[in-house]
Amino acid sequence: MAIIKILKNGETDIESTDISKFALHSQYKCQKIAAVGSASIVLPAGSSWLDGGSYSAVINHGLGYIPLFWAFVEHSGKGYESVGNANPQIDLASGDGFPVGAAFNIDADSSNLNIEIWPTGFGETANNETFTIRAFFILDEIV
């Protein structure tokens, strides 16, 4: 059987027996993607933190357990990563000259990835702001 090895950036010894030198080594366990999904949320023009409103979406993974996941928010051609409890906060165009942004809460339960967005800052959004959330979920597997 073939062995697949990919060294980490800066490493040069493909024959090393030190697993920490590899980004991937087929003779050792590695994380596998179990499911992927995406959803879009629109923050309407004129939204403000004063409204107290939030907008939400759900990505169903249906795995039956709370998975490890990576979520990315796309907005205006840029990507933002959700890392642990440090969910994205994105600056937006303001319709009234005051700062405005969008904050996210992204968390998983045993069936879904739950995404919530709300406006921040002192201004109002100038446009309908569309956010696409893409996520992949890691298989919880014991081999």
pLDDT at 143 (0 to 100): 42
Amino acid identity, residue 55?
A: Y
Number of C-beta neighbours around residue 109 at 10 A: 12
CA 115, 118, 121, 124 dihedral sign is positive
Compute the distance between CA of residue 49 and CA of residue 96 in angstroms, rounded to an integer: 14
Residue 110's pLDDT is 94
> How far, in Å, CA of 57 to CA of 118, rounded?
12
Neighbours of 63 (CB within 10 A): 18
What is the predicted pLDDT for the residue at 84?
A: 64
What percentage of the chain has pLDDT greater than the value 70?
95
User: Distance between CA atoms of 138 and 33, rounded to whole angstroms?
Assistant: 5
- What is the Rg, in whole angstroms, of the alpha carbon atoms belonging to the chain? 20
Q: What is the mean pLDDT of the chain?
A: 89
Collapsed DSSP state (helix, strand, coil) of residue 7? strand
> Which band of pLDDT confidence, cut at 50, 70 and 90, is reported for residue 85?
low
pLDDT digits (tens, 9 = 90+) for 4-63: 889 889 999 999 988 888 888 888 877 778 999 999 999 999 999 888 889 999 999 999
pLDDT for 141: 59
What is the architecture of the domain spanning 33-138? Sandwich (2.60)
User: What does DSSP say about strands 69-75 and 129-138: parallel, antiparallel, or unpaired?
Assistant: antiparallel
pTM, entire model: 0.77
Every domain range in the chain assigned CATH 2.60.40 = 33-138
